[in-house]
Structure formats: C-alpha cells, structure tokens
Amino acid sequence: MVNDLGGAIDGSGASTSAGEKVVAEIQAAGGEAVANADSVATAEGAARIIQSAIDNYGQIDILINNAGNLRDKSFAKLLPEDFDAVVDVHLSGSAYCSLAAWPHMKEANYGRIVMTTSSAGLFGNFGQGNYAAAKMGVFGLMNALKHEGRKFNININTLAPMALTRMTEEIMSDKIKPLVKPEFVTPIVAWFCAEENTTSGDVVEAGAGYYAKVQIVEGAGVVLGGGEIPSPELIQENYEKIADMSQAAPFDSANDIMRHVFRTLRPR
C-alpha cells in the first residue's frame, strides 16, 4: 500500500495523484498496490493508513515511515507553526504509524519497520532546526522500539538517505542530482525489510552507491571530585579528558550506560 498525502513541500494542500502514480508504476511492473491519501500527522490518519493495508491485504509485515515535509528557515525566523508542522509529519507521523501497526505485528510475531532520519538530524544543518529535531527524534524512537520489538521478532532500523526527491530537488545542485538517484537507496531498504535480516537498531547513511552505519558513541569518561561535587574550575581543568573520544564505544541501551558509569566509579 502506498500512502502519499500529495501536498506541497511545506505540507500544505493534498492530492491523490502522487500516490496513484506510484501505484500505477508498481502495477505496470507486475505488482499489486493500492493508494491511500490520509495524513500521518494525526493518530486518526495513521490508524486509517494501517487499517487500509489490513483491509486490502489481511496483514501488515512491513512499514516504511518516509512521509516528509520541509519548512526551512533560520532559527531566528522560525515560527512555532513551522516547527510543529515538520515535527508532526516526520516524528509524530513515524510514531503514529508504528503505533497503529504494532499490535498487528506483535500478534503475528513478525514485523519489519524502517524509519527515515537525515544527516541534518544526525550532524546538523543551517536553517533546519525543526527538521533536524524531528529527524533526531526518529533516531531516539527507533532506539526505544528496538528493545520492545525484540521478543516479538519486530526489527526496527533507520535510513539516512541522500537522494533526489521532490523535497530535495530545490536544494541540490545540478552537478549532484544525477549522482543521487533514489534507486541507490532502495537496496538497503529492501535488506532492512527482508525476513532473513535479523538486524535491529541500525542507522545507515545511503546514497550514490555509498553505504555506512552511523552510531552514537560515548567516551571512556573521567571521575572527578572524589565523591564530592566538583567545582566548575575542576571541570574546566579536565575538560580535554572529558571530551577525549580516543576510547569511545557504542552502547545498546540506557541501562548499559548506567552500568558503564558505575563500573567507572568503582575504586581501583
């Protein structure tokens, strides 16, 4: 099932033509598909999207959260409604659709969910405070759901695509556009959705034939104050050690971080 509200880049308006065009392409290639034009930005719309898939196909095995909009402005010019509109689609939409699909996947003891983040969220980008916040929120949502889905065979991974789309065609140079065909992104999506793929909780940057895992890591850390509250001056004196990433490592959960902290605090 193909969901596309068919609105403008900023999320305004709606049209069924975008989704119907993709459905026609799938059918022309010998596949089956139906279009849906509900909005992911509300829980009710997301529920109707998932129910449409259930009504047409009897079950839902795969969910790809890829709805998007852009309202790029420098932070000084960003209006609250511009912030909310982008977060509602990218973050809340991903949560609402996943929430609606979750009980069906849980009952089937099977599911594959793909989230969509962005390098703007992972690393930052000027003029995209709303978009970056939403996209990093998607990363956090995946990190929580990977734990909850584990015992139900529901795997959740996240894609950070570099691709030419309606959203990006105005911000990409003509030199780059031919290199970032969306077709370069689809193989990693297909792999994340495959039954034999047991990976969950990964983020992969993909585009133009380039694929790389992205990870949050934490430094080894230092212990200051000897059990007493350290002064700001002591923090300043030791900040290079605090910021040292030479022994940085990834952690699977907040509990793992806590265990690492208390192991570091033990007297040696």
For 103-124, the DSSP string reads HHHHHHT-EEEEEE--HHHHH-
Q: Token pair 């034999």 is at which residue? A: 196
Structure tokens belonging to residue 199: 């990976």
For residue 84, what are the CA distances in angstroms to 34, 38, 41, 133?
A: 29, 18, 10, 11
Contact in structure between 127 and 109 (CB atoms under 8 Å): no
Beta bridge partners, 73, equal 128
Q: Which of 96, 110, 131, 210 is catalytic?
A: 131
210 is catalytic: no
- Tokens 């350290």 -> residue: 230
User: What radius of gyration, in Å, describes the C-alpha atoms of the chain?
Assistant: 21
Orientation of helix 129-149 relative to helix 93-108, angle to 10°:
10
Distances in whole angstroms, Cα of residue 97 to Cα of each of 92, 93, 112: 8, 6, 13
Burial code of 69-92, b = ≥16 C-beta within 10 A, e = fewer? Answer: bbbbeeeeebeeebbebbbbbbbb
User: Could you give the CA distance from residue 144 to residue 253 in angstroms, rounded to a whole number?
Assistant: 8
* Active-site residue list: 131
